[in-house]
Chains A and B, each alone.
Chain A
Amino acid sequence: MGRRPTLSPLVAGAGSVLSWASLPGARRPLIHVENLRFSYPSASAPALDGLSLEVPTGSLYGLLGPNGSGKTTFLSLLSGILKPPSGAIQVDGMDLSLHLADVQARSALVPQELAFYPSLSVRENLEFFAGVGGLSGAEAASRVDEALRLAALLPNAGQRAERCSGGLKRRLNIAIGLLRRPRLLLLDEPTVGIDPQSRHFILQSVREIHAAGRTVVYTSHYMDEVQDLCDTVGVMDRGRLIAQGRMETLLAQGRGQSEGPVRNLEELFLRLTQTTLRD
């Protein structure tokens, strides 16, 4: 195994917290995570092992990592589905453990699974999630229409979700996340298993969502996608953050590596996380 490169100054070690606010031109962090630990009951190794990171406000943050690196666990903790036994999470200056409802009202998780009801129609799914999300009456109806428009789902509104194509399903999955107009959107591998057209549409939508002033945390195994889309990137491995920085900075540092220059994000990622299989 090759030696893991050091990408200072934006590389976080376990327990250390990078402060974007201290960097020139950096924005206030929307997410501030410190020394987060989490283990699943039957697992031999911790899913998160002292994770510390910051996501700048208004950034399109690409969160990368091999399978089992802890990305989904981190998003689950961030959205209040799991509770961390130790460590701290702040979102928009609020301690998650004290202001969970406020944080949840400002954020939306789009899980990597198609998290809706196959036997309900596209519109019924949106109406349901709008309702349980606290929207009602005319406001709920207008948000449902807005989400249908944003995800280009209007022609399929009455179609049962189970009869939709893979791309439509992915768009519905994202549309549900947009219902409450979240300030923070957590997208967990949103382009898995879809055709290039749907992928292009989703990536374009994410850009628009981001351009509208929302902070987006985006996880994916498609490195070209993340390189093209995200302005900031964090790389996780074995429950820790091993690199973090603005995309162009990290790539520039990668090009100057003593082991040989990296040409793109994928090469940098493999150099950071090694090529050993993880599952």
Chain B
Amino acid sequence: MGPLLYLVRKEWLLLRRDWHALGLLFLMPTAFILIMSLALQGLFAGHSRVTLSYTLLDGDKGPESVELAQSLAAHPEFRFEAAAGSETDLRAGVRAGKAQFLVLLPAGFGRSLGRGKGLEPVRLVAAPSVDPTLMKLFDATLREDAARVYVKVAMRALDRALGSSGSVGPNMDAMDSLVAAPEYEGSAPDSIPTSVQQNVPAWLIFAMFFIAIPLSNTWVQERAQGTYARLLSLGVPRWKLLLGKLLPYMSVNLVQAVLMLAVGLWLVPLLGGDALTLGDAPAALAVMVLAVSFAAVSYALLVANLARSTEQATLLTGVANLFFAVLGGIMVPRFVMPPALRALGGLSPMAWSLEGFLEVFLRHGGLAQVAPSALLLAGFGCLSLGVAAALFRRQQRG
């Protein structure tokens, strides 16, 4: 085992015994992810692709009610939550948050459409927490789908009355072409994350950069305690001392990444939030994790070599990380920032990190798509490491 492996092993031993650092690096981001993902779920839903959950009670079970149920299920924004029971049971379920809406199709719905009068209305029930705008959206969609079913039934009745075979009346397919598909000016809906898609990478990045606190503290302590002097006098080169910090702390970052992604994938949905979607490019995700980690640990080494005391190191990393986080869209998503602040935030390495992760999670980007973010982070990491090495080396000269 060479000196480098001893340095890495020592670092792991020290970290394993530092419960404060472990709490800071693992528990803090887990708590942030859970709290923020769940707390901001509704807020993010207003900005992102809406996924509205609903359940449906078909009291008619005729072809018309089935058709209406099918057309509702065909909307990608709606998610059907299967539920069994009476109307009272389903209303209780909506109240308890199992679904946002309950659609009640009354018995005789199909027959009443055929009669054209004395209609049995479809009823829509919303959970108390549903935003009125979302209520309007669901209601409008339901009304449109019900109207289509009604028009179809009416046209069939007209055909029968006229003895024609579907040649009379409007072309139903043409109705879809009356209004072109809407388009976005600028930010497309896919680029706006859900709460969990925003918060898992955001707090993971924050935690990865927070490694600067324990790293810089141990570095300053080792320098003050004379252990570096002793190691240098044993002939351990400075680059090995730097690498002896870089490698173990990067491995801590990897553990953080696995843990936080697992929280987003399994723990958040277990507590009622959306599940994190990882995209379909594991290589791009791995590259992003490595790039963020390299940038974060190199930056930590830079701070460690700038600071003269542990107090200075803690203050410097704490304040700088908060600035990086606020500007980089960790605490407040950048898509809600005014343009000037958004542009300023673009200077934060946490913004590059978040952009890269969202590219993978949200837009299903691959290596080519994350390359700009990864390269920026690698450049930042190289620059930080270079300056840190120069500062460390400078301590050797008179």
> Interface on A for B, CB 8 Å cutoff?
37-41, 47, 76, 79-85, 100-101, 104-105, 107-109, 111-117, 119-120, 124, 128-129, 131-134, 136, 176, 180
Verify A132–B398 contact, CB threshold 8 A. no
Least Cβ distance of B14 to chain A in Å?
Answer: 6
Least Cβ distance of B222 to chain A in Å?
Answer: 8
Q: How far is the CA of A94 from the CA of B145 in the complex (A)?
A: 93
Contacts A116-B227, A132-B234 known; list 15 others, CB within 8 Å.
A37-B398, A39-B398, A40-B398, A47-B398, A80-B233, A82-B396, A113-B229, A116-B225, A119-B14, A120-B10, A128-B6, A131-B1, A132-B3, A132-B6, A133-B3
Verify A111–B14 contact, CB threshold 8 A. no
CB-CB under 8 A from A116, the residues of chain B are 225, 227, 230
Cβ-based interface call for B224 (8 A): yes
A115-B226 contact in complex given A105-B235, A129-B234, A131-B1, C-beta closer than 8 Å: yes
Least Cβ distance of B392 to chain A in Å?
Answer: 12
A111-B226 contact in complex given A119-B14, A120-B13, A132-B6, C-beta closer than 8 Å: yes
Q: How far is the CA of A84 from the CA of B38 in the complex (A)?
A: 60
CB-CB under 8 A from A76, the residues of chain B are 229
* CB-based nearest B residue for A179: B234
Residue with the highest number of chain A CB atoms closer than 10 Å, among B224, B229, B396? B229
CB-CB under 8 A from B232, the residues of chain A are 79-81
- What does the 1/0 interface line of B102-128 toward A look like (CB < 8 Å)? 000000000000000000000000000
* CB-based nearest B residue for A127: B6
Q: How far is the CA of A120 from the CA of B17 in the complex (A)?
A: 9
Q: How far is the CA of A104 from the CA of B230 in the complex (A)?
A: 11
Verify A85–B398 contact, CB threshold 8 A. yes
Least Cβ distance of A173 to chain B in Å?
Answer: 9
Least Cβ distance of A43 to chain B in Å?
Answer: 9
Least Cβ distance of B86 to chain A in Å?
Answer: 63
A38-B229 contact in complex given A119-B18, A133-B234, C-beta closer than 8 Å: no
* CB-based nearest A residue for B14: A119
Verify A109–B231 contact, CB threshold 8 A. no
Q: How far is the CA of A107 from the CA of B7 in the complex (A)?
A: 21
- What does the 1/0 interface line of B1-39 toward A look like (CB < 8 Å)? 101011101100110011000000000000000000000
Least Cβ distance of A165 to chain B in Å?
Answer: 17
Cβ-based interface call for B136 (8 A): no
By secondary structure, the A interface counts as loop
Verify B14–A117 contact, CB threshold 8 A. yes
- Name 18 interchain pairs, CB-CB below 8 A, sorted by A: A39-B398, A41-B397, A81-B232, A83-B396, A83-B397, A84-B398, A104-B234, A109-B233, A111-B226, A113-B226, A114-B226, A119-B18, A128-B6, A128-B10, A133-B3, A134-B3, A134-B234, A176-B230
Least Cβ distance of B11 to chain A in Å?
Answer: 10
CB-CB under 8 A from B236, the residues of chain A are 132
Classify chain B: how many residues form its interface, as a range: 20 to 34
- What does the 1/0 interface line of B210-243 toward A look like (CB < 8 Å)? 0000000000000011110111111110000000
Verify A109–B17 contact, CB threshold 8 A. no
CB-CB under 8 A from B233, the residues of chain A are 79-81, 104, 107-109
Q: How far is the CA of A81 from the CA of B395 in the complex (A)?
A: 9
CB-CB under 8 A from A114, the residues of chain B are 225-226
Verify A85–B397 contact, CB threshold 8 A. yes
A83-B235 contact in complex given A119-B14, A131-B6, C-beta closer than 8 Å: no
Verify B7–A109 contact, CB threshold 8 A. no
Least Cβ distance of B20 to chain A in Å?
Answer: 12
Least Cβ distance of B279 to chain A in Å?
Answer: 40
Verify A112–B6 contact, CB threshold 8 A. no
Residue with the highest number of chain B CB atoms closer than 10 Å, among A40, A81, A112, A136? A81
CB-CB under 8 A from B397, the residues of chain A are 41, 82-83, 85
Verify B235–A100 contact, CB threshold 8 A. yes
Verify B17–A119 contact, CB threshold 8 A. yes
Verify A80–B235 contact, CB threshold 8 A. yes
CB-CB under 8 A from A108, the residues of chain B are 233-234
CB-CB under 8 A from B226, the residues of chain A are 111-115
- What does the 1/0 interface line of B161-189 toward A look like (CB < 8 Å)? 00000000000000000000000000000
Q: How far is the CA of A40 from the CA of B7 in the complex (A)?
A: 28
CB-CB under 8 A from A120, the residues of chain B are 10, 13-14
* CB-based nearest A residue for B232: A81
CB-CB under 8 A from B396, the residues of chain A are 81-83
A117-B235 contact in complex given A131-B3, A132-B3, C-beta closer than 8 Å: no
Least Cβ distance of B398 to chain A in Å?
Answer: 5
Q: How far is the CA of A39 from the CA of B236 in the complex (A)?
A: 24
CB-CB under 8 A from B225, the residues of chain A are 113-116
Least Cβ distance of A214 to chain B in Å?
Answer: 16
